[in-house]
Homo-oligomer: A and B are copies of this chain.
Amino acid sequence: MINVSVLGYGTVGSGVVEVLDTNRDSINKRAGNEINVKYVLDLRDFPGTPIQEKVVHDFSVIVNDPDVQIIVETMGGVHPAYEFVKEALEKGKSVCTSNKELVAKYGAELLEIARKKKVNFLFEASVGGGIPIIRPLNQSLTADEIEEITGILNGTTNYILTKMTDEGSAFEEVLKDAQEKGYAERNPEADVEGYDACRKIAILTSLAYGMQVDYEDIYTEGITKITDIDIKYAKAIGASIKIFGTSKKVGNKVYAMVTPMMIDRNNPLYNVNDVFNGIFVRGNLLGDVMFYGKGAGKLPTASAVVADVVDAAKHLGTNIMTIWSSKKLELASFDEASNKFFVRLSGDKNSLFEQVKNEFGDVKEVTAGVDSEYAFITDVMTESEFKEASQKFDNMVSRIRVGF
């Protein structure tokens, strides 16, 4: 029997207990051993529930119990999750977590402790919810040098953009609806400003290149400025607007960013809609692969955590090698990143045409029946070139990077 303890009995934590219970037989078979939940750490009691006897309020009970081999951390937030996980690993327990903030910030350090202690620190659920992406990156795409990772990594913002597209509604309206349905948090900042996607692309990029990517270094732009009119233009040319977390290797430089992107049907992520996530990976020999599924939700996320528990159970006493050192990966300057840009200027095309040509070169006009605007897509230019040209226009209504 292998004893597991769950830290935090919120949505994901209670999901973990439910998954272990629902699929007990098949999970035990796959783990090659019986998995038992010994303790649940939470501030609350849960009288009258099946876990009432297992609840403890003091982490030291768990971490000092030599019978506990695996700890599931589903509290979220960096503190005290970091201190708890670190102590657990140091005391020779494997840890499985869904906590992207923790992994993005302390992944390299915690992996190193796990390696030294011959235990495992696993975090499949921290990116893409139920979609297998961490283990494939770590164990399947090992013959390739990764040239690009681009993902729709946040279900809430993808839901909002999908609804805006399908219904022609404004951002604020859809956000309110999403909050009422429980798809968006009361405080939606982490999602709509791209912070959540930023931590996730930091984790994926660290794993792809085996070095620490600090999420603070990643240029991050959310979807709060995307309007129904932007989407109207996108639809007029058969495109859609998504928010991508991306990292790309160009020569020896790695660029990483989180930004809204206008993409067309040829992009494999074009059809990833609603709360679904999709993660596209390009290998130098493999070509393109994509992983798709529910990026959030109680049971999909808990399923990924439990898959880690099964893996930890199969590897008691052996560390599964993960290349992610604490050596910092210096990202290339965002100013040098290059893209096409979709631009909307207020005013009349005829009066703007010459100036646009002078500043942006030959552009491709986009029309969507919007009055008093001149909208176009530029050729590929760097961020700094674009910034410089933009400063000449105080009538710029919006600009969105273009991925086709």
Q: Mark interface residues in A290-309 (1 if CB within 8 Å of B CB, else 0).
A: 11111001011011111101
Alpha-carbon gap, A186 to B23, bound state (A): 47
Are B30 and A323 interface neighbours, CB within 8 A?
A: yes
Are A143 and B23 interface neighbours, CB within 8 A?
A: yes
Q: For A27, A131, A323, which residue has the most chain B Cβ atoms within 10 angstroms?
A: A131
Does residue A177 face the partner (Cβ distance < 8 Å to B)? no
Are A292 and B289 interface neighbours, CB within 8 A?
A: yes
Are B303 and A19 interface neighbours, CB within 8 A?
A: no
Are A311 and B268 interface neighbours, CB within 8 A?
A: no
Which residues from chain B contact A299 at a C-beta distance below 8 Å?
A: 285-287
Does residue A91 face the partner (Cβ distance < 8 Å to B)? no
Within 8 A of B (CB), among A1-38: 19, 22-23, 26-27, 29-32
A contact face: mostly helix, strand, loop, or mixed: mixed
Does residue A196 face the partner (Cβ distance < 8 Å to B)? no
Does residue A168 face the partner (Cβ distance < 8 Å to B)? no
Contact of A23 among B29, B132, B284, B288 (CB under 8 A): B284
Which residues from chain B contact A303 at a C-beta distance below 8 Å?
A: 141, 143-144, 283, 285-286
Q: Mark interface residues in A123-148 (1 if CB within 8 Å of B CB, else 0).
A: 01000001110011001111111000
Which residues from chain B contact A139 at a C-beta distance below 8 Å?
A: 135, 139, 307, 311
Nearest Cβ distance between residue A23 and chain B, in whole angstroms?
6
Which residues from chain B contact A130 at a C-beta distance below 8 Å?
A: 283, 286-287, 289
Interface pairs A-B: 10 shortest CB-CB? A143-B306, A289-B293, A132-B140, A290-B292, A286-B303, A142-B310, A30-B142, A285-B299, A130-B286, A132-B136
Could you name 15 residue pairs across A and B whose Cβ atoms are closer than 8 Å?
A29-B210, A132-B289, A136-B140, A140-B307, A143-B309, A144-B303, A271-B271, A285-B300, A286-B294, A287-B299, A289-B291, A289-B293, A290-B292, A290-B293, A314-B321
